[in-house]
Structure 1
């Protein structure tokens, strides 16, 4: 199986279009989105429509959940995040909201022996953003293969048993790259963010995992971030949400 792994699109349809165009000739059999399709960006309907057309397996992200909480009157916070969510909520249909409500907080895929979750293998909200955090996740989760998002940084954390005890290694993919999962390793793999990279590279990030070869490959794709910035400003969203796209932060 060849999985197209997407995460953290954050309502940036322009970036998603560029990613899908880049991924199409690489061939994939299924699409998994690891959370945060919504939040921040100016294209919520377009992103949900594209994911629905792809028949993607979608995992609940913290921004997706915050939008539903706002729809249910459970959140009234005022912030840059909430301004974007309120604007998006006004533009989504009941059908859109019903579909987002159906997304699960984590899925175990028996076909390839993988867990899909937004933050860590154990949590929607926590971040797998350091060796210490990865070590804690490995201690509480005993699977072999997990795919997460949330950090907006493409990376792998791998653990192996050694004579001195279990050790954890980290590798980042700021400019893309390939990683072969070692036979004896347990790994947490992150494809990075489609719509709002934060590793200093403004290019959209996605990955393909080939289960037959145990190969995880990250790709970076240029897109028209200045147009998205203009769309953010035209929508009346906080300007910082567009400006940060040009910096990859």
Structure 2
């Protein structure tokens, strides 16, 4: 059984379509979707429709901070740009979709290799703190006995590990290269953003996971990069009635992967 870990889709239909097609071509049959399905992109209703269909078929889905903001509605203290995006996004969604966002769990446990799925971190899921480096990764791994944590929120792919003696390390993964996950360590994987990568590479991110077949085998994770039609995603944003300054900033980020 091969899993696809997908996070931070951010209403980017073109990126999500490309990632789903690649995952299916790579033999993925199960999905874990790690939040931030909406926000930034032009197609929140389409993306959320796909997420809901996958969840109906058994996919794991957890809530991200953008999902929470859209479910709750804009707040008076929000930055005007954030409020504009939240209000616009809510107007694109129907009641079932808003209810789905509101009811998403903060974290979920999965069957492959004692996994924990959470958008931001395991030590304070609703606080939305970023796993910026090794210190935060260790704190998150200490907060759960799961052998593998999978987090979103950070838009750059990363892999951390923690040994039984407390020694920690990290890897910046190479796309397409399978990495063994020995069972004597804890692991924290950040697949990177599907809809808005921020590592200077606009190609969509996700990860494939192959659970261990026996106690003598190691599980494996493969971080993937998928090229997609960035121009079409930018054109879709320009066709919305979001404020021009927001559209300009978002299309620049998509084009440059920043």
Q: Please report the TM-score for the alignment, with normalisation by the length of structure 2.
A: 0.89
Look up the match of 2:215: none
> Which stretch has the larger CA shift, 2-11 or 51-60?
51-60
Residue 120 of structure 1 contacts residue 126 of structure 1 at CA under 8 Å; is this kept in 2? yes
Give the count of matched residue pairs. 244
Look up the match of 1:127: 130
> Does residue 232 of structure 1 match 2:237?
yes
Look up the match of 1:245: 254
- 1:177 partner SS: coil
> Does residue 82 of structure 1 match 2:71?
no
> Does residue 220 of structure 1 match 2:221?
no
Q: What per-residue deviation string (whole Å, max 9, x for no partner) do you get for residues 175-217 of structure 1?
A: 4432110221100011111100011111001111111350111
Unmatched segments (≥5 aa) in structure 1: none
Look up the match of 2:150: 147
Q: What per-residue deviation string (whole Å, max 9, x for no partner) do you get for residues 82-127 of structure 1?
A: 3222111001000111111221000122553111000112233111
Q: What per-residue deviation string (whole Å, max 9, x for no partner) do you get for residues 66-95 of structure 1?
A: 11121xx65552333332221110010001
Look up the match of 1:182: 182
> Which stretch has the larger CA shift, 147-156 or 106-115?
106-115
Residue 196 of structure 1 contacts residue 202 of structure 1 at CA under 8 Å; is this kept in 2? yes
Q: Please report the TM-score for the alignment, with normalisation by the length of structure 1.
A: 0.92
Look up the match of 2:7: 7
Rounded to whole Å, the distance in 2 between the matches of 1:132 and 1:198 is 21
Distance 1:57 1:84, change over 3 A: same
Runs of 4+ off more than 4 Å: 73-76
Summarize the alignment of residues 163-202 of structure 1 with structure 2, pairs less than 5 Å apart: 165-173=165-173, 175-202=175-202
Look up the match of 1:32: 32
Two-structure CA RMSD over aligned residues (Å)? 1.7
